[in-house]
Chain A
Amino acid sequence: MTPATDEAVLTALDRRLVRGVAVANVAVISVLATAAWVVWAGFPSAASTVRPTHACILLIIRGGAVLCLTLGCGLVAIGIWRAARRFLGVPRAGTEAIRVTGIVSAALLQALILAHFDDTPVDARGITALWVAASLGYLVSILVARLAARLLVGYRRSDEQRRVEMLRAAEAAAELEAEEFRVRRMLADRLHGSVQNRLVVAAAMLDNMAAELESHGDGERAERLREVADSLDTLASEDVRTVSHALFPTEANLDTFDAVRVLLSRLPTSVATALDLGPGLHAEGTGAAIPVPLRLVVVYAVEEALTNAVKHGARSVRVHADLAADSGTASLYVQVDDDGCGLADPEPTLHGLERHRSRVAARGGHLHLEPSPEGGARLSITLPLNLNA
């Protein structure tokens, strides 16, 4: 891994955190060094000619100056460390050499400052000891910050990897889904096209034969042929249609609510139906703008609700739908009311609808069943939509 990419995975906050660790460590070292300086030489002795209060004030001023200067040295060490990479990033060994030199120089500066502010003269050994201590202090401070950076880089990398994997999984799922719809649509088209056509043509040929038989005076066999033709016709128009609808409702190719209208038109005629679309859906083509998988979620859930309504003896069903859009995101709201014998339990358990509930939930929506003000059941579906996608 190159340092550049390490740097790249860290967020601005991460970088600030690493800097914070380094500066905090250097600050601690500076405070400790100043404290050591005070203990070592700073307290005014009883024999001092200066008055104690003056001595105290002098101590505080000098201590403050020492602290500021040592802190400055630490910051210089950090600055050189960082600058080494910025200006000489590429030659690795050279960079490290400059960094160490920077630390050692800053430490020497700190040792000299401590010695300079001391009243009693310090010998070369003392300065060397101070120098080594400061060097180690700065080095540890910066290495701890570097360790923090390493940990953060590792964390960010695994985080990024997890995100990429999730994205890949979502893409794979979407591809699978698209393929499933393609196959379902193709099968439904085949059923509609050739299978139904052949059946109808066969029925028509039988009709012709029946007419011929009739003209030859064989009314009885003509009648039987017509019955066969009728059953072929029913097979073509009802059975094949039912299977093909379960695979893929053709109407959903046009518009979500055309498909709902078709569902309503197929209910027994003893049931009054109504479809009202709210103002959000009045704009041309809104129903067609809903992605096909979502259209199917809506169409199949509404179909289940309608089947239940008829099963529970409803005399009237009403489908209300609207689209609420604000700033890029929209949500589709669909409500199916019936006046059937209703729900015994105000918090009913879902049977056939459970499958639809999980489909809706998988797309970030809600499906809810409750008693309807019209007497029967009310099914509500809310689905988030991204119309620009």
Chain B
Amino acid sequence: MTRVTAPVTRVSLVEDETFVRTLLHSTLSRAGSVRVAHSLSGVQEAALAIRPRSTDVAILDVNLLDGNGIALGVRLQRADPRLSIILLSALDVLSLFETVQADVPRPWSYLSKRSTFSSQVLLSTVAAAAAGQSVIDPELVQRSTPRAGTGLAELSAGQLRVLRLVAEGLSNSAIAERLNIQERSVEGHLAAIYRVLDLNDPASNRRVAAVLRFLRETGRDTP
């Protein structure tokens, strides 16, 4: 994508750890497609500074010194339903994230802090989130296994591989490239996945619904 066709994504950062915030800021600033609108350290500050329509993507730490990033995200999105949220956490709050995800106007994304230090992961997540996609931390997605007795456990290995990449926020063409298959077979896999998971309404965002199911019906076994 060139800078002419891709509009600049305005990102606001809310993170109380100075080191992490600085690092994220510099990573994002280096990318041409992103402009950092606000770089903030707490809930109070963020609630005042982040006005509706001033930001496309808000990156929020879950545990902030003066409050909770999830509550802040819900509040910001209520004021601006077009805002995309990326939650950032030092801990596995996936299950918490999942309970929120079920009723927000625009899908949320989740990155573990360690992953955000990889500029490639961070930037692709920002891009996918800005496009309305739900992105789950790639490392977490790869560690997740379908739980016995769920619909997800009925997916074939190939289907699961595709769904994992969908959960990472990849587009169909990116998935095809990653798995070295035709884009059309990615589409075929997706159709099969929707069928197995009973996601029958083409009008709904089935991609996001499938990611939600992925979150709900997997667990991360500790080795």
Contacts and interface: CB of A to CB of B under 8 A. Distances in A.
B150 A261 contact: no
B91 A192 contact: yes
Interface string A255-278: 100100110011111111110000
Nearest to B144: A269
B95 to A, nearest CB: 4
A258 B96 contact: yes
Instruction: Among B19, B91, B95, B98, find the residue whose CB has the most chain A CB atoms closer than 10 A.
Output: B91
B80 to A, nearest CB: 23
A258 B99 contact: yes
A212 to B, nearest CB: 13
Interface string A155-198: 00000000000000000000000000000000001001100110
A269 B91 CA distance: 19
Interface string B82-101: 00000000111111101100
Nearest to B64: A193
A316 interface: yes
Contacts of A316: 148-149
Contact of A273 (B145, B147, B222): B147
A262 B96 contact: yes
Contacts of B92: 237, 241
A333 B17 CA distance: 42
Instruction: Among B95, B98, B114, B218, find the residue whose CB has the most chain A CB atoms closer than 10 A.
Output: B114
A86 B37 CA distance: 81
Interface string A202-217: 0110011000000000
A250 interface: yes
B148 A315 contact: yes
A199 interface: yes
A201 interface: yes
Given A197-B20, A203-B114, A236-B90, A192 B63 contact: yes
B136 to A, nearest CB: 14
A208 B114 CA distance: 11
A268 B149 CA distance: 12
B198 interface: no
Is chain A's binding surface mostly helix, strand, loop or mixed? Answer: helix
Contact of B219 (A200, A203, A241, A268): A268
Contact of B114 (A233, A241, A271): A233
Interface in B99-131: 99, 112-114, 117
Contacts of B16: 193
B65 interface: yes
A7 interface: no
A251 interface: yes
Contact of A237 (B91, B117, B147): B91
A315 B147 CA distance: 11
A80 interface: no
A81 B73 CA distance: 76
B103 to A, nearest CB: 11
B148 A254 contact: no
A270 B63 CA distance: 31
A240 interface: yes
Contacts of A266: 95, 219
A124 B26 CA distance: 121
Nearest to A251: B96
A241 B89 CA distance: 12
Contacts of B117: 204, 207-208
Instruction: Among A193, A254, A315, find the residue whose CB has the most chain B CB atoms closer than 10 A.
Output: A193
Contacts of A207: 114, 117
Contacts of A258: 95-96, 99
B201 interface: no
A238 B113 contact: no
A201 B114 CA distance: 7
Nearest to B223: A234
Given A197-B90, A254-B99, A269-B218, 5 more contacts: A192-B90, A197-B20, A238-B222, A251-B96, A272-B148
8 contacts: A192-B63, A200-B113, A201-B20, A207-B117, A265-B98, A269-B147, A269-B221, A274-B149
Interface of B: 16-17, 19-20, 23, 63, 65, 90-96, 98-99, 112-114, 117, 145-150, 218-222
Q: What are the 4 A-B residue pairs with the smallest beta carbon separation, nearest first?
A: A272-B149, A269-B219, A196-B90, A204-B117
